[in-house]
Amino acid sequence: MSKTTRSEAAPLTADIGSETIPLKQACVIAAREVIAAEGCAALSLRDVARRLGVSHQAPYRHYPTRDDLLAEVLRQCFAEFAQALAARTPHENAQDELGSLGDAYLGYAAAHPVEYALMFTDPWPQAAHHPAMAQAAKIAFDELRSVLTRVYAQVPAPWQMAWVERDALCIWAAIHGLASISRLDATAALGLAPVSQLRAHVFGMIERSMANESVLNNNIPKQTDT
Amino acid sequence: MSKTTRSEAAPLTADIGSETIPLKQACVIAAREVIAAEGCAALSLRDVARRLGVSHQAPYRHYPTRDDLLAEVLRQCFAEFAQALAARTPHENAQDELGSLGDAYLGYAAAHPVEYALMFTDPWPQAAHHPAMAQAAKIAFDELRSVLTRVYAQVPAPWQMAWVERDALCIWAAIHGLASISRLDATAALGLAPVSQLRAHVFGMIERSMANESVLNNNIPKQTDT
DNA sequence: AGTACATTGTTGACGCTGTCAACTTTTCCT
DNA sequence: AGGAAAAGTTGACAGCGTCAACAATGTACT
């Protein structure tokens, strides 16, 4: 009787570990455990319910759809990711700081492969339907914009914003592409070197590209000071 | 009796469209129809069986696992992808040919978004378990290697291969990253420009990077002929 | 010819999933 | 205090992959 009917002043909470917290939060924690253990595709609300010792329908009260729970997990992951990027080691030289941002990015991807794959390679729930998730993702991306704005601090306004947007995309594409490749296990199948050796290559491409751009700086815009 | 028991000299075939072909091939065609219509995640062997008018177990005779059928579909997609890359417009100048390879890559991704996502963003079946699929993928990737070998034709042997491998990875990472971003619908969420405008940026980064490298050519290896 | 056998397909069952509907209990607001 | 809304339970349904048992076919061997 203590389990089949929850007549014992059941507190709308669930036990997870040793804590007792609201079911809504407990669902997210359990979902991340499932994803970490068996991957995103294996996430099921029934499994979450079973782990929390509640009925198979209870989680649906808080997350009407599997995607709604997934979007909340993603929102948290993006927030943690943004925090990790913001915690990069600062540098006087903006170009060096760009490097440390890249390190922070790859460091996070390496340290949290499950979360990274969840954010960037597993299919998203429709972003338009989950604005909180999209917002959290944008905040993370703005870290890159912010560093690039420093890099191009000397560039006059009309060019600066365009260059920042352009390089933000390029750098993200290159680094995410690298992370993506490493995840696919494609390096072995395609006869590529192991990913550990590839990081320097991609960083080198970015640096050469921007170095070449800085040569053009002398041609196109007149610097404001110096 | 004509349907419940297949005593009527059953031809081990299945009807698809107006053709009558072996079930094994018919499964692949039906699978691609399912994937095109509802995405990779929606692929189920029961659905395939239903479309072909056979029992829910028949496809399992030919593909013991969902992943085995998926790997065969992927193998075909990689072969078609390699063919599309090989059909690029040729150029005298190797650098220009690299550009046309990039166009062919992005052209295929745009013309066949379902197949591209299947090959490069949906999770692969374990490559080690499906060597035919991995081999087909490698053949496609070798198109990129081949063009880069032309680009660096003048570079002495010790450097040439290393540069080819390095740039093959970098270029793939950059272009695949771009394609990946466009697929995620992330551009809107992150406040980026639409993908149509981003292609030139990534190509520009690659070109600037390689142009800068060619400057170094004068410093590092002695050319075999001018 | 005749027989053993592997291949190909069918049928039925099991547990898993998400989803819908009807119901009870708890909470909260007036 | 009372009543509505929220939270949770229970039961049913269809679709999925998987396993096991069985029938029909073609082939190879003696």
What pLDDT shows up at residue B6?
36
* CATH class, A13-64 region: mainly alpha
For B15, the enclosing helix (H) or strand (E) is: strand B13-16
Q: Are A170 and B202 in contact (CB under 8 A)?
A: yes
Interatomic CA–C1' length for residue A16 and nucleotide D8, angstroms:
18
For A13, list phi and psi in degrees, rounded to 5: -130, 175
Please provide the distance, in angstroms rounded to a whole number, between the alpha carbons at the two ends of chain A. 80
AA letter at A134: A
Instruction: Using DSSP, state whether A57 is helix, strand or coil.
Output: coil
Pairwise CA distance, residues A14 & A27, whole Å:
9
Question: Is the C-beta atom of B60 closer than 7 angstroms to strand D?
Answer: yes
CB-based contact B208 A206, cutoff 8 Å = no
Stretch B98-116: mean pLDDT, rounded?
Answer: 92
| Most confidently predicted of A118-127, B164-173, B215-224 | B164-173
Beta-carbon contacts of B74 under 8 Å, excluding residues fewer than 6 positions away, are: B118, B119, B124, B125, B130, B133, B136, B137
Which nucleotide, over all strands, has the C1' atom closest to the CA of A42? Answer: C17
Consecutive 10-residue averages of pLDDT for chain A (226 residues): 34 50 91 90 92 93 92 95 96 93 92 89 80 92 95 88 90 88 74 78 88 56 44
Q: What percent of chain B has pLDDT over 90?
A: 46
Query: Is residue B13's beta carbon less than 7 angstroms from any atom in nucleic acid strand D?
Result: no
Q: What is the C-alpha to C-alpha distance for residues B78 and B140, in angstroms, rounded to an integer?
A: 7
Residue with the larger pLDDT of the pair A168 and B222: A168
CB pairs under 8 A between A and B: 149
In this complex, the nucleotide whose C1' atom is nearest to the CA atom of residue A12 is: D7
Name the amino acid, one letter, at B13. T
Q: Is the CB of B120 under 7 A from strand D?
A: no
Least confident interval from A102-116, A144-158, B13-27, B34-48:
B13-27
Strands (E), chain A: 13-16, 19-22
**Which has the closest alpha carbon to B24: B73, B59, B72, B71?**
B59
| DSSP letter for each residue of B132-197 | HHHHHHHHHHHHHHHHHHHHTTTS-HHHHHHHHHHHHHHHHHHHHHHHHHHHTTHHHHHTPPPHHH
Residue B80 (CA) to nucleotide C3 (C1'), in angstroms, measures: 47
Lookup: nucleotide whose C1' is closest to A46 CA:
C17
Superfamily holding B67-217? Tetracycline Repressor, domain 2 (1.10.357.10)
What distance in Å separates the CA atoms of residue A37 and residue B30, rounded to the nearest whole number? 33
Q: Note whether B184 contacts A41, CB cutoff 8 Å.
A: no
B90 vs B222 pLDDT, higher one: B90
For tokens 């991995």, what's the residue?
Answer: B134
**pLDDT (0 to 100) of residue A62:** 94
Residue A46, CB, strand C, below 7 Å: yes
Weakest mean pLDDT among A17-31, A110-124, B19-33, B154-168: A17-31
Token look-up 């059928």 returns: B69
CB contact under 8 A, B176 and A174: no
Residue in B124, B137, B209 nearest the CB of A205: B209
Are B202 and A141 in contact (CB < 8 Å)? no
Task: Tell me: pLDDT of B1 over 70.
Answer: no
Burial of residue B49, with CB atoms counted within 10 A of its CB: 0-12 exposed, 13-18 middle, 19 or more buried: buried
Residue A130 CA, nucleotide C23 C1', distance (Å): 32
Domain ranges of chain A: 13-64, 67-217
Contact flag A208-B206 (C-beta cutoff 8 Å)? no
Q: Which of B110, B115, B111, B51 is CA-nearest to residue B78?
A: B115
User: What per-residue confidence (pLDDT) applies to A214?
Assistant: 61
